[in-house]
């Protein structure tokens, strides 16, 4: 899977196009691959997608911040190796004028957000094999989504810690336990303490 993310499918204005090009050129992208035979990887993939707001539940939600821009199958249908790739763009980054629409049919204002995520999964297994892209939303987007949308269920710092523990062979119960401990002790970097 050495192909590039098809950024030409994103609907961006000229300035965003330049920024996205730069992001890809300087490799500021995140890239996570998952082994479809591993349960731990399955949990890690699901956690990552939930954190990004790209799990099934979040995508079906009316407040979904992502819009699917592109999707394609690879490999022979019915073959075990056949994969599907989907590309999502943050709705705050959707440059509606570029799409030729004067009126903005989006629940959120344009903020120039550059976030985009490509999800690859097995056609047969439906298991997530790879999640990559630029996961960072710009400040105006974060603000817009904070006021208009419910907050993300999983903070990126929590995801990172979870992934690390899974790699070290921790069980799901261990992870929940240490998650509770870290939240109580307020040791997640960048996570504000919220009163319970």
Q: Which residues bind Zn ion (CB under 5 A)?
A: 90, 92, 113, 115, 137, 141
**Closer Cβ to Zn ion, 65 or 85, answer by number:** 65
**Closer Cβ to Zn ion, 90 or 175, answer by number:** 90
**Closer Cβ to Zn ion, 34 or 94, answer by number:** 94
Quote the CA–CA distance of 164 and 186 in Å, as a whole number.
18
- Beta carbon of residue 114, minimum distance to Zn ion (angstroms, whole number): 8
Contact between 93 and 142 (Cβ < 8 Å) = no
**Closer Cβ to Zn ion, 92 or 154, answer by number:** 92
With 0-12 / 13-18 / 19 or more C-beta atoms within 10 angstroms meaning exposed / middle / buried, residue 51 is buried
- Beta carbon of residue 85, minimum distance to Zn ion (angstroms, whole number): 20
Quote the CA–CA distance of 167 and 165 in Å, as a whole number.
5
Number of neighbouring beta carbons within 10 Å of residue 28: 12
Number of neighbouring beta carbons within 10 Å of residue 92: 25
- Beta carbon of residue 91, minimum distance to Zn ion (angstroms, whole number): 7
- Beta carbon of residue 112, minimum distance to Zn ion (angstroms, whole number): 9
H/E stretch holding 162 reads: helix 156-167
């Amino acid at each position: 899977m050495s192909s590039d993310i098809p950024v030409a499918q994103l609907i961006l204005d000229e300035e965003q196009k330049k920024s996205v090009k730069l992001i890809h050129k300087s490799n500021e992208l995140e890239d996570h691959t998952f082994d479809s035979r591993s349960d731990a990887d399955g949990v890690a993939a699901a956690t990552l997608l939930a954190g990004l707001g790209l799990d099934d539940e979040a995508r079906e939600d009316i407040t979904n911040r992502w819009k699917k821009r592109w999707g394609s199958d690879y490999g022979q249908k019915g073959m075990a190796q056949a994969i599907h790739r989907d590309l999502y763009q943050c709705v705050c980054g959707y440059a509606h004028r570029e799409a030729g629409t004067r009126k903005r049919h989006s629940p959120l204002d344009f903020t120039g957000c550059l976030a985009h995520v490509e999800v690859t999964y097995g056609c047969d297994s439906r298991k997530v094999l790879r999640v990559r892209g630029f996961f960072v939303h710009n400040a105006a987007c974060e603000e817009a989504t904070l006021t208009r949308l419910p907050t993300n269920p999983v903070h990126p710092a929590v995801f990172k810690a979870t992934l690390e523990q899974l790699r070290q062979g921790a069980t799901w119960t261990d992870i929940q336990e240490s998650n509770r401990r870290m939240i109580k002790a307020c040791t997640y970097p960048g996570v504000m303490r919220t009163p319970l």
